[in-house]
Amino acid sequence: MKHSGVSKESLCGLINGRMIDAGITHRKNDNIREKIKSLEASFKRAEDWRANTGQGVTDEGDLKSALAKLCPYYDQLAPVMLERASTRPLYSSDALHDRGNIDSDSESESDVENQPSSIGISVAKYGSKKRKSVEEEWNDIRSSMLKVKQEEDAKRMKIEEQKLALAVKKEDRESKLGEVNLVIMQAKAREAVMHEKTQLLLARRQLQDAGVNQDEIDKMLPI
């Protein structure tokens, strides 16, 4: 079943979200959509080869190796892509046979049988080049992810250092402020004591001026 434009867009958005979570922020849905198309194309080439030339390969190891060359992610894509109608071979074995008959009535049966092999070799060469470009692109993505992660780690480290520096400054400022407040409180306390003594002496002086006996003054306002 073919994906609709909406489902593809949703898939691209989901993949983009996962990439953003991983620190890759420079990829857009268009880039992801083109990547999906590239994977679909490489899978279709591999599937076309398997349905035609690959039918003559009896060794399972050789078959898997050839498919991997045409589509490095064949095993991962096969469970999903084989259910889609769009992955049917571009040319069936019968179609290739018919085309051979049209090209030349005198063409022998051996020539027709050899035709799919030559096409398979061409597809394999093209797939090899395509595989290289896919690997290079994924290597670029991994390098970009690593670079972004390193940059993010450096930013976080710088922010933590700034927070620590601010915390130290704040603590130092609060400590100095506490010292200043202590000095102010001590000065106010001394001022209060001096004021109290001054008032006491003035009161004693007033009593003396009024003719009160000194013993009475000492009892009333002791120093």
Q: What is the pLDDT of residues 113-141, one digit of tens each?
A: 444 444 444 444 444 444 556 667 677 77
pLDDT exceeds cutoff 90 at 32? no
Same domain, yes or no, for 33 and 52? yes
Same domain, yes or no, for 58 and 144? yes
In a domain? residue 119: yes
**Do 90 and 48 meet the contact criterion of CB atoms below 8 Å apart?**
yes
Provide the residue range defining the domain that includes 10: 5-158
Same domain, yes or no, for 81 and 190? no
**Do 112 and 28 meet the contact criterion of CB atoms below 8 Å apart?**
no
Band the pLDDT of 63: cuts 50, 70, 90.
confident
Band the pLDDT of 96: cuts 50, 70, 90.
very low
Chain mean position to CA 41: 27
Where a domain ends, among 106, 125, 158?
158
In a domain? residue 191: yes
**Do 70 and 49 meet the contact criterion of CB atoms below 8 Å apart?**
yes
In a domain? residue 132: yes
The Cα 33–Cα 39 span in angstroms is 10
Distant-in-sequence, close-in-space partners of 85: CB < 8 Å, separation ≥ 6:
1, 2
Band the pLDDT of 52: cuts 50, 70, 90.
confident
Retrieve residue 167's tokens: 């915390």
In a domain? residue 48: yes
In a domain? residue 175: yes
Where a domain ends, among 158, 178, 196?
158
- Alpha carbon dihedral 23, 27, 28, 30, in 10-degree steps, equals -150
pLDDT digits (tens, 9 = 90+) for 66-91: 888 889 888 888 777 776 544 444 44
In a domain? residue 163: no
- What pLDDT is stored for residue 56 in this prediction? 67
Q: Which amino acid is at 197?
A: K
Same domain, yes or no, for 83 and 21? yes
Q: Which long-range contacts (CB under 8 A, 24 or more apart) does 87-91 make?
A: 87/40, 87/43, 87/44, 87/47, 89/47, 89/48, 89/51, 89/52, 90/44, 90/48, 91/48, 91/52, 91/119
Band the pLDDT of 212: cuts 50, 70, 90.
confident
Q: Is 24 exposed, middle or buried (0-12, 13-18, 19+ CB in 10 A)?
A: middle
Domain count, the chain: 2
Same domain, yes or no, for 53 and 113? yes
**Do 192 and 202 meet the contact criterion of CB atoms below 8 Å apart?**
no
Which residue in 4, 29, 26, 25 sits closest to 14, CA to CA? Answer: 29
Same domain, yes or no, for 178 and 79? no
pLDDT exceeds cutoff 60 at 93? no
Same domain, yes or no, for 32 and 137? yes
pLDDT exceeds cutoff 70 at 25? no
Q: Which helix (H) or strand (E) holds 21?
A: helix 5-21
In a domain? residue 164: no
pLDDT exceeds cutoff 90 at 159? yes
Same domain, yes or no, for 212 and 112? no
Same domain, yes or no, for 126 and 205? no
Band the pLDDT of 111: cuts 50, 70, 90.
very low
Lowest mean pLDDT among 42-46, 97-101, 175-179: 97-101
Where a domain ends, among 158, 182, 199?
158
Same domain, yes or no, for 68 and 16? yes
Same domain, yes or no, for 54 and 150? yes
pLDDT exceeds cutoff 80 at 105? no
In a domain? residue 216: yes
How many C-beta neighbours within 10 Å does residue 223 have? 8
Same domain, yes or no, for 107 and 212? no
- Average predicted confidence (pLDDT) for the chain: 72
Band the pLDDT of 26: cuts 50, 70, 90.
low
Of 76 and 101, the one with more pLDDT = 76
